[in-house]
C-alpha cells in the first residue's frame, strides 16, 4: 500500500484530500492509479522529509483510495477508515514503513439531523459566495457535497484552525461527537472567512478611493500647472507657495517640514481653522534667504576710507575692524571673533555697525535687546501658541533678505531674565560659531545656518553680561571723544544733518568754531556726542524760527549769542578750583557714561575717635576708607595721634549718586594725610589708584575715561599706578599733551611730590 505524510488537514472518513501528482510520486515512488489504496500518516509539525522521525507523527492515521485524477495534475484521496499506527519506521530515503491496525468508530450518529445540518451549512456557504466573483465556482462544488466530512475536507486548506484542533476530529471515536466538533470547526471558519472577506472588500474600497483621490489630485496639479503657465498672474496661493518651496534652496529638513505643512494646508483648504497659521508659516519659511551669498571682494583701502569718513576718532576700533576684514578677505568667508563694543552712550557703537556693513558691502540689520526678558524673543514661539512668531534673530534675517548681513545686537547688557526664561542663555547658541550653523528657531522648527552672519554686540557696561556669554565675544572699548574730536564730528556730521532736518538752505546758518567750542564745553558733559546732537538740533530749530520770520536774513551763531539759541542753561561743569585746603583732594572715577572727577573731603571734630563715612559709598569704598585711616596712622604716628581725641568725617559729594570701587584708595589716603599734616593739595592735582595695606599703588581700570574727565575739568597733573602705563597708548594724544601724568608705585611717592616729605616716616613692618 502507498504511504503519504499529511500535515494540517482535516483527515476523517468520508472526506476527500487533494494532493499534487508530484507529491504523490515523491512520497510513493510511483504514479497514481485510480482505485489504488493509500495510507495517510498525520504529521505533528511541518517537518522536511529528510528530518522526520517516528515521533514526528500522531499515533492515529487513515486509509483511503485514489478516487479522482485531474488532468491538471491533481489527485483526490477518499478517506475510508481510521488506523492505529502501531509502529512507524522512517527509512533512510525518507519513506515510511508502517505496522497498522484498523481503528473502529462508534456509530451513534443521527442521520436525519445530520442531513438537515449539512444542508444548512451548504446554504450558508452558497449565500455567502453570491457577493463575490469566485462564488460560482464555490457553488458548483457545494452542489456535489452530501456530507459534512466532504465539506470539511474540501475547505480545510483554508481553515485558520491549528493542526491540533484538526487532528482532534480524527482522534474522536464517537461519530456524533466527531460530527458536532466538525460542524463547530466549519462554522467558525465560515464566519472568520466572512469577516476577512468583508474587511478585505472594505480595504479594497478604501484603496480604490485613495487611488482615485490621488489620481484626481495629480490631474488637478497637472491642469493647474498648465493654467499657471497660460496665466502667470492668476497663480493660486497654494500653488505659489509650492513653487516657492521647491525653489527656495533650503536644506533637507526644512524642505521636508515645508512639504508636510503644505500638505496639511492642501487638506485643510483655504477656509480651514488653521489655514491662516499654516500659510503664514510657509510664507516665512519660503521667504528666508536659504541660499548662501557669494563672498564679495573687499578693498581694505575703501573700507578704511568708509570708516574714516563716517566716524572721527575711534582709531583702535577701526584698526580692529580692518583686521577682521583682512582675515575675511583671505579666507573668503565669515571668520573671527564676535565683536562686543562697550562704551558710554553716544560714542558711536551702533552707528559704526552701519559703516562696517557698507565697508563689507553687506546688508545691515539692527536687533534691539534692551528690556528683553523672554527667551522666546530670541528663539521664537512654538506654533502651538496663538499669535506665535519667530524670534528677533530670524525676524532680522527675514527682513534683510540675505544670509550674511551685519547684525548689530544692540544693548546686550540690558537683557534680563524672568519666569519666561533667560534670553542671555538663548544667545549662547546664536553667538557660538561652533553651534550657530544649525540654529533652530522654535517657530520654524528647522535648522538655519547663521555662520555667515557678522554679529556685533553693543553694551554700556560689562557688569550685567553673564560670563558664559561674555566669553564668546571679543570686547572692544569705546573710550569717548575728546573736544577736538567732538568739534570735528559736529562740523562733519551732526550740524549738516540737523540743518537738513530743519529744512534750512545752504549758507543760511553759520556756527563759528568759538561758538562750537563753547557749546561743547558749557552745554555738554558726556563721553559721547548724543547731547551735542541735541544742541545742534536746538540751534537749527531756533534758527528756523528766525528765518521764517525774516526770510532775507542769515543766522550766525557766535560765542556771545550762543545762549539765545539754547533751550537750557549752561551745565554746571565740574571744573577744579584754584584754592587748596588741607583734607580735600581731587580724585577720578569711571561711570557707565564716561569718566568724572570727585572730591574726597575730610574733617576732624572734637570727639572720641569715631569715623563716619558719607556720600552713598559702596562696601569696597568704605573698606578703602578704613585702610586709609590705618595707613595714615602708621605713616604719620605723631600727627595722626590727634585722631584719638577727634571724630573723623569722610565725605564724597554728589551724595545722591552711588559710588564704589577700590580706585579711590590713593585719593582717600592722601586726603587724610593732608588733613593730619595740614599740607594742602592743589585741586589741579588729581589721582587714581588702589592702595594696599603696605602702601603699594595697584592698577585700576577705565584710565582713558578718567584722564579725559581730568582734562575736561582743568586738572594739570595726575598720579596713576605705574602698572597702568601701558594703558596710556589708548589715551588720545590731545589729552596727554594737556596733562602731566606721573606714574607711581607707592603712596609715599605721591606724598613726597606733594610736599609731605618732611612729615613722612618709614613704615616699620
| Among 403, 624, 663, 674, the one annotated catalytic | 663
Taking the C-alpha atoms of residue 637 and residue 42, their distance in angstroms, rounded to an integer, is 122
Taking the C-alpha atoms of residue 652 and residue 413, their distance in angstroms, rounded to an integer, is 28
Taking the C-alpha atoms of residue 347 and residue 349, their distance in angstroms, rounded to an integer, is 6
> β-pairing, 74-90 with 96-103?
antiparallel
How far from 446 is each of 253, 394, 488, CA to CA, in Å? 6, 12, 49
Taking the C-alpha atoms of residue 7 and residue 167, their distance in angstroms, rounded to an integer, is 9
Give the torsion through C-alpha atoms of 35, 39, 42, 46, to 10 deg. -80
Taking the C-alpha atoms of residue 574 and residue 713, their distance in angstroms, rounded to an integer, is 6
Q: For residue 107, how many other CB atoms are within 10 A of its CB?
A: 9
Reduced to 3 states (helix: H, G, I; strand: E, B; else coil), residue 289 is: coil
Spatial contact of 94 and 4, defined as CB atoms under 8 Å apart: no
Exposure of 398 in the CB half-sphere (CA atoms within 13 A): 16
* Residues in contact with 134: Cβ distance below 8 Å, sequence separation at least 6, in sequence order: none
Spatial contact of 339 and 360, defined as CB atoms under 8 Å apart: no
> β-pairing, 646-651 with 685-687?
unpaired
Taking the C-alpha atoms of residue 255 and residue 285, their distance in angstroms, rounded to an integer, is 9
Using alpha carbons, select from 182, 187, 184 the residue that is nearest to residue 125.
187
b/e 432-457 (16+ beta carbons within 10 angstroms → b)? beeebeebebbbbbbbbbbbbbbbbb
> β-pairing, 16-20 with 2-6?
unpaired
Taking the C-alpha atoms of residue 656 and residue 616, their distance in angstroms, rounded to an integer, is 7
Taking the C-alpha atoms of residue 85 and residue 487, their distance in angstroms, rounded to an integer, is 121
Catalytic residue check, 425: no
Packed helices 175-230 and 163-171: angle between N→C axes, nearest 10 degrees: 160
Query: Measured between alpha carbons, how far apart are the two ends of the chain, in Å?
Result: 126
How far from 632 is each of 629, 636, 647, 651, CA to CA, in Å? 5, 6, 15, 17
Catalytic residue check, 236: no
Using alpha carbons, select from 715, 707, 705, 673 the residue that is nearest to residue 577.
715
Spatial contact of 603 and 649, defined as CB atoms under 8 Å apart: yes
Alpha helices in 53-110 (DSSP H): none
Reduced to 3 states (helix: H, G, I; strand: E, B; else coil), residue 742 is: strand
| Among 318, 518, 659, 706, the one annotated catalytic | 706
Active site residues: 663, 706
Amino acid at each position: 500500500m502507498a504511504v503519504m505524510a499529511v500535515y494540517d488537514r482535516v483527515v476523517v472518513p468520508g472526506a476527500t484530500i487533494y494532493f499534487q501528482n508530484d507529491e504523490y510520486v515523491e512520497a510513493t515512488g510511483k504514479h497514481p492509479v485510480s482505485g489504488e489504496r493509500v495510507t495517510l500518516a498525520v504529521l505533528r509539525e511541518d517537518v522536511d522529509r529528510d528530518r522526520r522521525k517516528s515521533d514526528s507523527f500522531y499515533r492515529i492515521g487513515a486509509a483511503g483510495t485514489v478516487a479522482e485524477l485531474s488532468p491538471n495534475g491533481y489527485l483526490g484521496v477518499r478517506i475510508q477508515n481510521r488506523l492505529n499506527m502501531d509502529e512507524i519506521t522512517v527509512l533512510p530515503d525518507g519513506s515510511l514503513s508502517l505496522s497498522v491496525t484498523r481503528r473502529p468508530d462508534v456509530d451513534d450518529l443521527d442521520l436525519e439531523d445530520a442531513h438537515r445540518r449539512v444542508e444548512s451549512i451548504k446554504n450558508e456557504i452558497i449565500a455567502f459566495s453570491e457577493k463575490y466573483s469566485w462564488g460560482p465556482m464555490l457553488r458548483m462544488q457545494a452542489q456535489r457535497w452530501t456530507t459534512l466530512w466532504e465539506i470539511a475536507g474540501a475547505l480545510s486548506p483554508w481553515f485558520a484552525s491549528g493542526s491540533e484542533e484538526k487532528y482532534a476530529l480524527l482522534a474522536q471515536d464517537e461519530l456524533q461527537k466527531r460530527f458536532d466538533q466538525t460542524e463547530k470547526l466549519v462554522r467558525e471558519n465560515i464566519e472568520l472567512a466572512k469577516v476577512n472577506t468583508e474587511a478585505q472588500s472594505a480595504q479594497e474600497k478604501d484603496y480604490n478611493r485613495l487611488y482615485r483621490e490621488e489620481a484626481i489630485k495629480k490631474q488637478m496639479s497637472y491642469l493647474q500647472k498648465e493654467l499657471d503657465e497660460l496665466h502667470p498672474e492668476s497663480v493660486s496661493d497654494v500653488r505659489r507657495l509650492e513653487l516657492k518651496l521647491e525653489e527656495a534652496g533650503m536644506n533637507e529638513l526644512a524642505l521636508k517640514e515645508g512639504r508636510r505643512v503644505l500638505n496639511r494646508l492642501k487638506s485643510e483648504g483655504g477656509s480651514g481653522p488653521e489655514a491662516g497659521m499654516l500659510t503664514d508659516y510657509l510664507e516665512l519659511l519660503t521667504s528666508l534667504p536659504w541660499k548662501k551669498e557669494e563672498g564679495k571682494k573687499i578693498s581694505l583701502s575703501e573700507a578704511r576710507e568708509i570708516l574714516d569718513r563716517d566716524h572721527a576718532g575711534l582709531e583702535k576700533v577701526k584698526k580692529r575692524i580692518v583686521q577682521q576684514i583682512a582675515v575675511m578677505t583671505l579666507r573668503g568667508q565669515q571668520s573671527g571673533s564676535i565683536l562686543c563694543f562697550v562704551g558710554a552712550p553716544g560714542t558711536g557703537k551702533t552707528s559704526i555697525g552701519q559703516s562696517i556693513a557698507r565697508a563689507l558691502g553687506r546688508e545691515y540689520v539692527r536687533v534691539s535687546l534692551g528690556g528683553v526678558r523672554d527667551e522666546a524673543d530670541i528663539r521664537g514661539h512654538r506654533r502651538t501658541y496663538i499669535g506665535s512668531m519667530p524670534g528677533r534673530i530670524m525676524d532680522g534675517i527675514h527682513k534683510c533678505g540675505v544670509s550674511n548681513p551685519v547684525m548689530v545686537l544692540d544693548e546686550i547688557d540690558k537683557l534680563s531674565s524672568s519666569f519666561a526664561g533667560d534670553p542671555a542663555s538663548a544667545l549662547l547658541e546664536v553667538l557660538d560659531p561652533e553651534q550657530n550653523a544649525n540654529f533652530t528657531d522654535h517657530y520654524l522648527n528647522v535648522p538655519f545656518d547663521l555662520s555667515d552672519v557678522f554679529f556685533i554686540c553693543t553694551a554700556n557696561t560689562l557688569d550685567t553680561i553673564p560670563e558664559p556669554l561674555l566669553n564668546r565675544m571679543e570686547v572692544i572699548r569705546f573710550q569717548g571723544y575728546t573736544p577736538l574730536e567732538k568739534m570735528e564730528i559736529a562740523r562733519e556730521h551732526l550740524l549738516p544733518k540737523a540743518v537738513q532736518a530743519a529744512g534750512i538752505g545752504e549758507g543760511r546758518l553759520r556756527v563759528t568754531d568759538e561758538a562750537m567750542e563753547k557749546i561743547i564745553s558749557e552745554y555738554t558733559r558726556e563721553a559721547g556726542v548724543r547731547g551735542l546732537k541735541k544742541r545742534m538740533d536746538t540751534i537749527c530749530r531756533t534758527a528756523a524760527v528766525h528765518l521764517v520770520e525774516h526770510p532775507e536774513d542769515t543766522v550766525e551763531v557766535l560765542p556771545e549769542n550762543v545762549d539765545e539759541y539754547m533751550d537750557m542753561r549752561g551745565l554746571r561743569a565740574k571744573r577744579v578750583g584754584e584754592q587748596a585746603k588741607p583734607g580735600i583732594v581731587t580724585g577720578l572715577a569711571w561711570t557707565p557714561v564716561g569718566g568724572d572727577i570727585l572730591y574726597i573731603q575730610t574733617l576732624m571734630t572734637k570727639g572720641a575717635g569715631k569715623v563716619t563715612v558719607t556720600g552713598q559709598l559702596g562696601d569696597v569704598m568704605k573698606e578703602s576708607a578704613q585702610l586709609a585711616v590705618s595707613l595714615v596712622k602708621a605713616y604719620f604716628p605723631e600727627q595722626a595721634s590727634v585722631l584719638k581725641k577727634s571724630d573723623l568725617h569722610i565725605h564724597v559729594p554728589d551724595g545722591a549718586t552711588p559710588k564704589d570701587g577700590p580706585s579711590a584708595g590713593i585719593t582717600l589716603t592722601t586726603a587724610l594725610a593732608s588733613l593730619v599734616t595740614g599740607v594742602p593739595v592743589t585741586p589741579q592735582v588729581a589721582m587714581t589708584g588702589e592702595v594696599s595695606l603696605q602702601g603699594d599703588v595697584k592698577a585700576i581700570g577705565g584710565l582713558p575715561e578718567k584722564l579725559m574727565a581730568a582734562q575736561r575739568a582743568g586738572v594739570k597733573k595726575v598720579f596713576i599706578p605705574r602698572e597702568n602705563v601701558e594703558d596710556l597708548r589708548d589715551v588720545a594724544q590731545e589729552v596727554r599733551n594737556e596733562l602731566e601724568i606721573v606714574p607711581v608705585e607707592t603712596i609715599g611717592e605721591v606724598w613726597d611730590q606733594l610736599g609731605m616729605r618732611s612729615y613722612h616716616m618709614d613704615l616699620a613692618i
